Amino acid sequence: MKTVLVNIVTPDGPVYDSEVSMVIAKTTSGEIGVLAGHIPMVAPLAIGAVKLKKEDGSTEMVALSGGFIEVRPEKISILAPSAEIAESIDVKRAKEAVKRAEGRIQSKQDNIDFKRADLALKRALNRINVHEGNI
């Protein structure tokens, strides 16, 4: 099977750079699967996981907090505000973030930005799910 180079980059620098046989990503309009030689496209990404299927049959997962995917026949670039490979996710920190976000949402105080708290909750739950392979 043909492979395609995948780069995942955040403002802090590169997170992932490898050849894969397939990329599965969650865009804002639904999930897409991309193989080598795919037609060029650009799409906004939702908070979610990117599944990277390797040629040997293994799958790597990366938690994303949104961003964009640019597909070219020979290369796929993902630009994200933050991205973490499943094995490097600090689950304890993510669980603490879930508790903080849930507390803000449940407090129903006027000075709480509920949309921001909801996004923080979604990002933290995504990180936990990616680390545990529940995606």
Burial of 92 (0-12, 13-18, 19+ CB in 10 A): exposed
CB 52 within 8 A of CB 36: no
**pLDDT value at 29 more than 80:** yes
In whole angstroms, give the CA distance from residue 35 to residue 41: 13
Sign for the pseudo-dihedral over CA of 58, 131, 76, 11: negative
Residue 1's pLDDT is: 75
Residue 110's pLDDT is: 67
- pTM score, whole prediction: 0.85
Q: Give 65-121 pLDDT, tens digit per residue.
A: 999 999 999 999 999 999 999 888 888 998 898 888 888 878 777 666 778 888 888
Residue 33's pLDDT is: 96
CB 8 within 8 A of CB 80: yes
Q: Which alpha helices (H) appear in 6-113, and where do they start and end?
A: 91-107
Residue 113's pLDDT is: 77
Q: Is 45 left (phi over 0), alpha (psi -120 to 50) or beta?
A: beta
